[in-house]
A and B are shown apart, each in its own frame.
Chain A
């Protein structure tokens, strides 16, 4: 507990410190590289109100090792002198007394339009009788309907399969997560799974548009329409309907149980996958396991207006809190994706290159990748590669 509080405080202080750090000059090492720095760093922004050229980003350290990982991101940002200011919120379900109110966090994200978020722990039993978790409340409040997890093999990370490269897109505002459960007769609990045409169409369109944007070839819809003929049937039909608008993309469908088997036996056949809520969650974690675990897979959630960057497989790794052994790769990749999203491509590329370099060298490895290095060692290695690249 005390460890957790310490980490939280550190992250918060770091956050405020970053905010006040002011308008530092950009590093010469960045500007000197004319090849990658075509865009000026001063004006790349999604936030039309900001004319000063600094991006404001909401930061939710989260529970478990979240604060340690976020701290690592902040260290890297500071070292690279990236023009991003963090607005930090302690937000937690397991620690409701310290947690910032949901409205504040939602307002901040809606205003900044981007957010980096650690993982929020969800207790197994609700103390208040409420069925919605904080995560779900946040998603519903912001309508973050699409979750994207890009599962990609990293260099020098040992795993059973090589060259996995698939994008899993998950609807995350309805389906099994609708939080509608009741006990109709004592001993009989009904849990409602809601599928709507509007949301199914929306996620299908998102998946196809994402595939077009990333230059992908194939979209696979994952479903269980052979059993849930109406619910999943509607989802599947919406996907099929939408596929007609994309004649140049291949569309196929796969039942979720078969999909899980294929994923572990032959993951290279997958390109872009679109799934309803719960299947997405399972497939995300399955695929993340294939390429090195929760510590190396980045994800993001999108609404029409905002983007929240978070780890692809959501595990709080509470056993490692304070031990300085968690792998910050996923969080750093998230931050790189964030930078690309707000048009700071040169910085994004710089961080990604640095991570790749550290992994390729293979000298600094955290415990989950079979090494003995600490989170801090890894962060420092990345920072070192930043300055020398």
Chain B
């Protein structure tokens, strides 16, 4: 009882650690501290049947903070309009509270629905013992692979044209292991964890992905010249797996060189495979090249669950509520989700309408150099959906 009370109060982190370690007998409810310190190995999941009834899917929706809620509103408008057979279960997460109850509930709903569409969740607290909620979510669902498809929109003027890169990123360990401590006063150590099992999983994912999507080349991005053991392991694993896929060309590149190549000659890249932090950097670089944060969508995959979100994980708090946020990223995420669920008819429809809105009609929000508001863009997309149906030719 005393332990319970202690963990309810916001006690100091080291004390919380002790409390939770001693209550190891009751692991059913994991505290944030436990989540932070779980080993980054493959998690056992108890599988339950997916929520798929009468051809309709239930999907968890986490609007998150900043522009998340408004973008989700646009997605729901479009889904309602085309009658996509998806029922959303919305879970709101209060950014201001310190406890993890909402996040744990969100994770539970994803476990039973199997699929989630999410905005970026805010973690307001900067206290050391409060984990980032996005990371807690990815870790406890064991979403080890992140896929970002960066493809140029012909209608957007950018420095480079016709870019088509898939970025695959290890999503649960590496620099995001969140194991930091002060060993001596004034000296802080942050651990980067690379495990053979997770490296192998994500590398296999990348090669399988390349094979299934008819890609030619996989590039492993690393810094093994400096971090010879950790990045070395990652690189070695991907080299070993490359031998199993002789049809796919494999090369590797050091992260600093990779960034330079990306901004100068991005066409040499096809599928890119990297660890967590490099993935974060590279995906933002590529999105920047292609027109900013508001366009591309990312997919998080585990063995059993899939979470779809806008590609660059920004909250966009500054532009929230001003009706200027770019809704395309979230709409693209919802298209990815429909494709994952197998509703290709609806996915193709939205995709064609989005492409037409940007490439032909040039209706864009200010971040892409346009003048339209978010609602204008959504309205244009809905009109284009109508048009696509009438023509029945603009999509196959």
Residues of A within 8 A of B (CB): 38-40, 42-46, 48-49, 51, 53, 113-114, 146, 201-202, 205-206, 208-210, 212-213, 242, 245-248, 300, 302-307, 341-344
How far is A300 from B87 in the complex, measured between Cα atoms in Å? 18
How far is A213 from B112 in the complex, measured between Cα atoms in Å? 13
How far is A193 from B346 in the complex, measured between Cα atoms in Å? 43
The answer to whether B345 has its CB under 8 Å from any CB of chain A is yes
Nearest residue, chain B, Cβ from A43? B389
Task: Please pick, from A38, A44, A46, A205, the residue contacting B49 in the complex, using a CB distance under 8 A.
Answer: A205
Can you report 11 A-B residue pairs in the complex whose CB atoms are below 8 A from each other? A38-B81, A43-B385, A46-B85, A51-B389, A53-B389, A212-B58, A246-B108, A247-B105, A248-B105, A300-B54, A343-B83
The 6 closest A-B pairs by CB, nearest first: A343-B83, A48-B345, A307-B54, A44-B83, A302-B54, A302-B53
**Interface residues of A: mostly helix, strand, loop or mixed?**
loop
- B344 near A205: Cβ-Cβ < 8 Å: no
Residue numbers in B under 8 Å from A46 (CB-CB): 55-56, 85
How far is A206 from B83 in the complex, measured between Cα atoms in Å? 22
- B81 near A39: Cβ-Cβ < 8 Å: yes
With contacts A46-B85, A205-B112 known, is A307 near B389, CB below 8 A?
no
How far is A44 from B345 in the complex, measured between Cα atoms in Å? 11
- B55 near A113: Cβ-Cβ < 8 Å: yes
How far is A201 from B51 in the complex, measured between Cα atoms in Å? 12
Q: For chain B, residues 75 to 108, give those with C-beta under 8 angstroms from any C-beta of chain A.
A: 80-83, 85, 87, 89, 105, 108
Q: For chain B, residues 298 to 349, give those with C-beta under 8 angstroms from any C-beta of chain A.
A: 343-346, 349
Residue numbers in B under 8 Å from A342 (CB-CB): 83
How far is A142 from B48 in the complex, measured between Cα atoms in Å? 21
How far is A210 from B52 in the complex, measured between Cα atoms in Å? 11
- B52 near A304: Cβ-Cβ < 8 Å: yes
Task: Please pick, from B51, B55, B386, the residue contacting A209 in the complex, using a CB distance under 8 A.
Answer: B51
Known: A245-B48, A300-B54. 14 other contacts (CB 8 A): A38-B80, A43-B389, A46-B56, A114-B54, A114-B55, A201-B49, A209-B112, A210-B53, A242-B48, A302-B54, A303-B53, A305-B54, A306-B54, A342-B83
- B58 near A245: Cβ-Cβ < 8 Å: no
How far is A246 from B83 in the complex, measured between Cα atoms in Å? 27
Task: Please pick, from A201, A212, A300, the residue contacting B89 in the complex, using a CB distance under 8 A.
Answer: A212
Nearest residue, chain A, Cβ from B48? A205
The answer to whether B159 has its CB under 8 Å from any CB of chain A is no
Residue numbers in A under 8 Å from B113 (CB-CB): 209
Residue numbers in B under 8 Å from A246 (CB-CB): 108, 112
- B53 near A304: Cβ-Cβ < 8 Å: yes
- B56 near A341: Cβ-Cβ < 8 Å: yes
How far is A344 from B85 in the complex, measured between Cα atoms in Å? 11
How far is A212 from B48 in the complex, measured between Cα atoms in Å? 16
How far is A246 from B53 in the complex, measured between Cα atoms in Å? 18
- A213 near B58: Cβ-Cβ < 8 Å: yes
How far is A303 from B346 in the complex, measured between Cα atoms in Å? 21
Residue numbers in A under 8 Å from B344 (CB-CB): 48
Q: How many whole Å from A147's CB to the nearest CB in chain B?
A: 12
Nearest residue, chain A, Cβ from B349? A43
How far is A40 from B83 in the complex, measured between Cα atoms in Å? 9
The answer to whether B44 has its CB under 8 Å from any CB of chain A is no
How far is A114 from B85 in the complex, measured between Cα atoms in Å? 13
Residue numbers in A under 8 Å from B56 (CB-CB): 46, 341
With contacts A48-B343, A245-B108 known, is A40 near B53, CB below 8 A?
no
How far is A208 from B85 in the complex, measured between Cα atoms in Å? 19
- A209 near B389: Cβ-Cβ < 8 Å: no
The answer to whether B111 has its CB under 8 Å from any CB of chain A is yes
